[in-house]
Amino acid sequence: MSESILVAVAQFAPTSDPAENLASIDELASRAADRGARVVVFPEYSSFFEKDLGPRFVEAAEPLDGPFVTGLGRIARRLDLHVVAGLVAVAGTDRFSNTLVAVSPTGALEATYRKLHLYDAFGQRESDWVEAGGIEQPETFDVDGFTVGLQTCYDVRFPEVTRLLVDAGVEVVLLPAEWVRGPLKEHHWRTLVTARAIENTVYVAAADHTPPVGVGNSMIVDPSGVEIATIGDERGIAVAELRRDRLEGVRRVNPSLALRRFGVVPRSASA
C-alpha cells in the first residue's frame, strides 16, 4: 500500500471525431505521466461530443471493446497509468449509454459506470437520447492501495450516489463531467464537488470540458474540502498528491461517516 498517489485531471473540448479525441487524450495523459501521475481523469463524452444531443450520438456509440476503449488501453499501457474517460456506448436500444470506463496500466478494462441521473434540467433533455444506468453494486478499482470509484456529472447533485460509492469502500471519487455553462452553473459546480468531498471525507477529482460549452474549472478536492489542484478555463492538466495520512487525519477529526444514522436505499420503480 502506498502512502500517497498522484492523480491528474485533464480538461479539453472533445469533438465529433473519436480519433482526434484519442490524440488529445494521448497528449494530455503523456503530460500527466511525465509529472508522475498514477491516474488521469478525462471528461464525460470524451469519445464523441457535439453541442446538441441527437441521432449522431447513437450512430457514434461504440461497444466496450471498440476502437475508443482499445485506444485508451494502448495509451494506459504505454504510459503505465490508469486512464478514466467518458464513452458514448452502445445501449442495445434506440438510445446510447453515457458510460465511464477505467482502463488499467495493463490496458485492460477495470471498471465501468453508466450515468444514473440524466440531465433533464436547465432546459435540457438527456433522457431523450440516453439510456440511464441501472442501480447496481459500484464497480471499484485499486490504485496503489487507494480504492477508487466513478460517477458522472449531473449525479453530483444527488449526494446518495457518492454515499453509495463510499459505502462500497471508495476513498477517491473520479467525476468526469460535461458541466454546461449558464447562470450560477460555475458556482454550483464548485459547491457540489466540494460538498461531496466534505460530507464523505473523500478525495474528489472532477474533470470538465473547456469553454465555450463547459465551465472548465476541473479540480481535485481533498477530504476536508480544500481545492488542492485546479484548472481555469483552458485546455490542460492539474496534478495533486492524494495522501493516506490526510484521509485518515480528516476522518479522525470529523468522523461523520461513523456517526451517521441513515443509509441509502434505492427508490422503487413504482415510487
Q: Which active-site residues does the annotation give?
A: 44, 115, 153
Radius of gyration of the chain (CA): 17
CB 84 within 8 A of CB 47: no
**CA 44, CA 250: separation in Å to the nearest integer?**
29
CA-closest candidate to residue 220, choices 154, 175, 270: 175
Residue 233 region, left (φ>0) first, then alpha (ψ -120 to 50), else beta?
alpha
Location of C-alpha cell 475508443: 68
Q: Which residues contact 64 (CB under 8 A, 6 or more apart)?
A: 87, 89, 99, 101, 109, 112
Q: Cis check for the bond before 43: say yes or no (omega within 30 of 0).
A: no
Element (H, E) at 228: strand 227-230
